[in-house]
């Protein structure tokens, strides 16, 4: 299997079937397929790439251990992306509780800071203004409660469906919609206060 940032449902099904046959043999493909998405999700939640790498590694260690305790039928029925993001969300919540996020924003999409993806025709002032805007957005997202931040990031940054978020968080779809919307309103209000 090759790495893909957002694994397709059929990749999910194929990997789950492979895990049902042999966890140890198939798990490397799970890591290759989902590592980038898990690290990016955790980094957006924590805003600290060093901690994000550590938490993401812990996600896969815990997933591997859990899979060994599951029956083959249960492994075959897993929706891996949602399951891994649920583990990541829980571990991230614990990490946020243990230490506040740093003040430096981490707005990674494909491994490069968003400020580095600036329009090549933009002048230095435009690039600086764009970087400042992303920093302000990152700060506003960091001020959200962990529950709102998780729903906000999954919906508006990672572009997951409400059903996927509900499954990931183990919450009803209505709760997820409300949390994502409240997060969006809070981020907008914060940005209006800071005049971004």
SS (H, E, C) the chain: CCCCCCCCHHHHHHHHHHHHHCHHHHHHHHHHHHHHHHHHHHHHHHCCHHHHHHHHHHHHHHHHHHHHHCCHHHHHCCCHHHHHHHHHHHHHHHHHHHCCCCCCCCCECCCCEHHHHCCCCCCHHHHHHHHHHHHHHHHHHHCCCHHHHHHHHHHHHCCCCHHHHHHHHCCCHHHHHHHHHHHHHHHHHHHHHCCC
* CA separation for the pair 8, 194 (Å, rounded): 39
pLDDT of 61 strictly over 80: yes
Q: So what's the pLDDT on residue 104?
A: 44
Average confidence (pLDDT) over 76-96: 88
Question: Left, alpha or beta for 159 (phi > 0: left; psi -120 to 50: alpha)?
Answer: left
Please report, to the nearest 10 degrees, the dihedral formed by the alpha carbons of residues 93, 55, 78, 178 taken in order: 30
* Predicted confidence band of residue 5 (pLDDT cuts 50, 70, 90): very low
* Predicted confidence band of residue 144 (pLDDT cuts 50, 70, 90): confident
Average confidence (pLDDT) over 49-78: 92
pLDDT of 6 strictly over 70: no
pLDDT of 74 strictly over 90: yes
pLDDT of 163 strictly over 80: yes
Give whichever of 46-50, 62-66, 99-103 has the largest mean pLDDT.
62-66
Residues 6+ apart with CB under 8 A from 44: 106, 107, 108, 141, 153, 157, 158
Q: So what's the pLDDT on residue 105?
A: 42
For 97-134, the pLDDT digits (tens) are: 665 544 444 344 444 444 333 444 455 555 455 556 66
- Phi, then psi, of 108 in degrees rounded to 5: -90, 140
User: Could you give the C-alpha distances from 131 to 47, 134, 135, 138, in angstroms and in order?
Assistant: 15, 5, 6, 11
* CA separation for the pair 158, 38 (Å, rounded): 11
* Predicted confidence band of residue 56 (pLDDT cuts 50, 70, 90): very high
- Domain architecture of the chain: domains with CATH: 1-102 (1.10.1740.10), 105-196 (1.10.10.10)
Which comes out higher in pLDDT, residue 3 or 124?
A: 124
């Amino acid at each position: 299997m090759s790495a893909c940032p957002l694994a397709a449902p059929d990749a999910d099904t194929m990997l789950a079937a492979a895990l049902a046959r042999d966890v140890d043999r198939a798990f490397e493909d799970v890591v290759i397929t989902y590592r980038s998405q898990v690290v990016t999700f955790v980094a957006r939640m924590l805003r600290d790439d060093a901690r994000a790498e550590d938490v993401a590694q812990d996600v896969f260690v815990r997933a591997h251990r859990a899979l060994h305790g599951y029956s083959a039928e249960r492994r075959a029925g897993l929706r891996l992306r949602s399951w891994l993001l649920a583990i990541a969300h829980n571990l991230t919540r614990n990490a946020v509780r243990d230490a506040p996020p740093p003040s430096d924003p981490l707005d990674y999409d494909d491994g490069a800071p968003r400020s580095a993806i600036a329009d090549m025709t933009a002048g230095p002032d435009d690039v600086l203004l764009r970087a400042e805007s992303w920093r302000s957005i990152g700060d506003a997202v960091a001020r959200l409660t962990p529950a709102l931040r998780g729903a906000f990031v999954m919906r508006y940054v990672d572009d997951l469906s409400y059903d996927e978020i509900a499954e990931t968080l183990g919450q009803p779809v209505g709760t997820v919609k409300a949390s994502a919307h409240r997060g969006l309103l809070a981020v907008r209000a914060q940005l209006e206060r800071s005049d971004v």
